[in-house]
Structure 1
């Protein structure tokens, strides 16, 4: 007697094939995200700070934590729907936001925005899932998922920053400070320059620093502008790099806890700082560095510099269009400005050491190499580049921790090695992905019916 194999299910499909169906994968992804949010909310409630679900609730019916992120998420979601529906969605979001702003002001609360785009983004997801069909539904849900992931990533990131403070009672800033001497202590240099330039420059750089997600969405919307008209999604675009960097980079915050110059060596250290040195004076070099006890509320989010990694990714994606053609001049100059301004802010505000930026750049080039041009496959060219970047990143962190003293004693040699290794990775990256402009794909042949 024939016995049906236990892996065979109704309709002749195997369990594995059903798990690979788009709807099943989407359901599993949604379930995983919900489980993560619920778990983080429980942890946040136990430890006494705001969790992701509570923060989301404020975005819907309270005062949103960010005014720009909800709008950035909605704008990203609009790339998947028609122009007419974009106008309707934007009008609805503006109208709802205006009502909430008025209610808050009447009630004596500070000005804030973000409820409208959050509500409309959710409504788009429900309407697309329930009422639309075919490619119209698929494009809309994919775009909405990207917009929602952007918003949720910021919520998860906020919780993770809180958790970094409880994971380690000490920080490694004394080691990083010594290693940074090999680069000429750039945070102290740029910090003094910003003091001379005055509050206007500071305000511009601060706006650039906090609005990096908005700049990223502007680039992503430009990259995805043809999705509805062509019915095709590009194989790779900026949002993918941003999300993967946000998933990998913060893991090292708990492996290599660092708070930054303005806290460890400045007046913002709340009594835990080595001294009030930053940015006016360099602290004396200590040949016996130790882990520094620190407070329970300053995030250990310096190593690597994720702002550097994200800004560099933005810069890379503003060099060429999705099809390999040269990007418009306004986009190229915009990407260059955002990168340079972000680097100046990370150093000049005392948020990072120079070696943090080197590690962030290496991480970006490594992740981008793993994701870029998926149609080219995983040949030796990609494996070599990703392996080089991964080994270099690990080597940097190990050298900052265990070779900090000799790096400070021989700064010229150590600095030349650091810059040389980063430059070699950058050259290899450019030669792999940018040295030759890809030839345009041939037009498909037309066949008569």
Structure 2
């Protein structure tokens, strides 16, 4: 009896700081959403809260994302509850579809998934208690975070286009000479593949969240049985990347080669060179651009997210590892081949992701010397990359045989450090197998 009391008191004492932490995180997140809502309204467009609230009734922007988000909530439910939830979502969507068809409104699915997700929150508050309530609320929160992340991303992109009239594309384009102008090379390759190749890359680029949910579902497959979430999983890294990345956009605004050096830039483009002719090396200067195009290139968050998917798929079965590899390769092909990013954006995105994932792993398992060193080193390399693009771009273009290998080696050093550290952490996390006790031979009975 005393053991039960002590265990319960210890457990409660251990949970109390975590409750305070999550409460503080929730308050900060709500304040952040309200600030973005106010900023968006200042520019005459609905913010993330309004945009998400409209999707309860009106046609969603992406039904795929809403169903993918609902799927994350389903990991906390039993199989029977999952079938009921999916059936309810489909039934609600059918009703919405019939009504929209009857009144001639825009046709789209996804409302049912959002209704079921919000219904999970209502059930958790009204019908569940204790650990069951906390588990269901975590599942709902995970689903809504994915949806909210997409909405806040749109608002951030709007803010970058309105508040950063000057962009730094000439600097990045000059630095990209050290890497062989990979966007121009990939652009010509995509043009040579024709319509089919371009459609495949475009689908992969747009449906990045689908691959993330597939990998996350594998990592969270035992949540319902164990009644708890694992300490480190893809969704956490995915969300932190989306939270911190737009802040870098504000510091280093870049629109991308297809806008700065291509036909899509219209009158704002320096020239119509992409993807056939790399830009000449001159003296880079910040260039003005319109108030519509997002400054969302540095770092490449699509590359960052695809790298996170690749890293977190490594412990899965062969099919999942192949999926992660395919998504990373095709995402790189799309980001470069469509002219959305420079090569410099790509390597910065890789360093950005591995640093964040190492920090999330260290936060979960406890900070040790190797974790602190790895995160500090990754952050230093990331800052050094951006600084070199801004202040050494002419030298990088003039001596590509020196700076090209240096950029690759700097990125490779972060990759090596990450692989080495995570392998060590994984070995430490493996349960120790004690040898079986030796059995003494028994004397034969006569």
Q: TM-score, normalised by structure 2?
A: 0.90
Distance 2:112 2:208 in 1: 21
Distance 1:162 1:382 in 2: 35
- The equivalent of 2:235 in structure 1 is 239
1:440 aligns with 2:440: no
- The equivalent of 1:257 in structure 2 is 253
1:290 aligns with 2:285: yes
1:315 aligns with 2:305: no
Secondary structure in structure 1 of the residue aligned to 2:268: coil
Distance 1:430 1:28 in 2: 33
Among candidates 25, 30, 37, match of residue 34 of structure 1: 30
Q: Once superposed, what is the RMSD of the aligned Cα atoms?
A: 2.1
- 1:87-146 C-alpha deviation (Å, 9 max, x unpaired): 111111111112212222333334311111111111101111221123322211111111
- The equivalent of 1:166 in structure 2 is 162
Conserved in 2, the CA contact under 8 Å of 1:81 and 1:136? no
Tell me the CA shift for residue 350 of structure 1. Answer: 0.5
Conserved in 2, the CA contact under 8 Å of 1:253 and 1:300? yes
Distance 2:304 2:364 in 1: 24
When residues 240 and 437 of structure 1 are mapped into structure 2, their CA distance, relative to the original with a 3 A threshold, is closer
Tell me the CA shift for residue 42 of structure 1. Answer: 2.1
| Equivalent residues in 2 for 1:360-375, closer than 5 Å | 360-372=349-361, 374=363
Distance 1:126 1:34 in 2: 19
1:306 aligns with 2:301: yes
Distance 1:408 1:25 in 2: 47
Secondary structure in structure 2 of the residue aligned to 1:151: helix
Distance 2:368 2:113 in 1: 42
Distance 1:219 1:52 in 2: 26
- The equivalent of 1:98 in structure 2 is 94
Conserved in 2, the CA contact under 8 Å of 1:19 and 1:25? no
Among candidates 389, 394, 402, match of residue 400 of structure 1: 389
Distance 2:264 2:182 in 1: 19
- The equivalent of 2:375 in structure 1 is 386
Tell me the CA shift for residue 384 of structure 1. Answer: 1.2
- Please state which structure has a larger fraction of its residues in helix: 2
Among candidates 165, 171, 175, match of residue 175 of structure 1: 171
Distance 2:199 2:251 in 1: 33
Tell me the CA shift for residue 29 of structure 1. Answer: 4.1
Distance 1:253 1:25 in 2: 28
Tell me the CA shift for residue 168 of structure 1. Answer: 1.1
Conserved in 2, the CA contact under 8 Å of 1:235 and 1:373? no
Distance 2:369 2:26 in 1: 35
1:356 aligns with 2:352: no
Distance 2:417 2:159 in 1: 36
| Equivalent residues in 2 for 1:307-346, closer than 5 Å | 307-320=302-315, 327-346=316-335
- 1:153-177 C-alpha deviation (Å, 9 max, x unpaired): 1111111100001221110000000
When residues 97 and 306 of structure 1 are mapped into structure 2, their CA distance, relative to the original with a 3 A threshold, is same
Tell me the CA shift for residue 41 of structure 1. Answer: 1.8
| Equivalent residues in 2 for 1:412-423, closer than 5 Å | 412-423=401-412
When residues 115 and 136 of structure 1 are mapped into structure 2, their CA distance, relative to the original with a 3 A threshold, is same
- 1:367-388 C-alpha deviation (Å, 9 max, x unpaired): 1111126564211111111111
- The equivalent of 1:70 in structure 2 is 66
Secondary structure in structure 2 of the residue aligned to 1:60: coil
When residues 387 and 32 of structure 1 are mapped into structure 2, their CA distance, relative to the original with a 3 A threshold, is closer
1:225 aligns with 2:221: yes
Conserved in 1, the CA contact under 8 Å of 2:362 and 2:371? no
- The equivalent of 1:9 in structure 2 is none
When residues 28 and 130 of structure 1 are mapped into structure 2, their CA distance, relative to the original with a 3 A threshold, is farther
Distance 1:37 1:375 in 2: 26
Conserved in 2, the CA contact under 8 Å of 1:80 and 1:144? no
Q: Could you list the runs of 5+ residues in structure 2 that have no partner in the other structure?
A: 1-8, 435-446
- The equivalent of 2:439 in structure 1 is none
Tell me the CA shift for residue 24 of structure 1. Answer: 5.4
Distance 1:373 1:331 in 2: 25
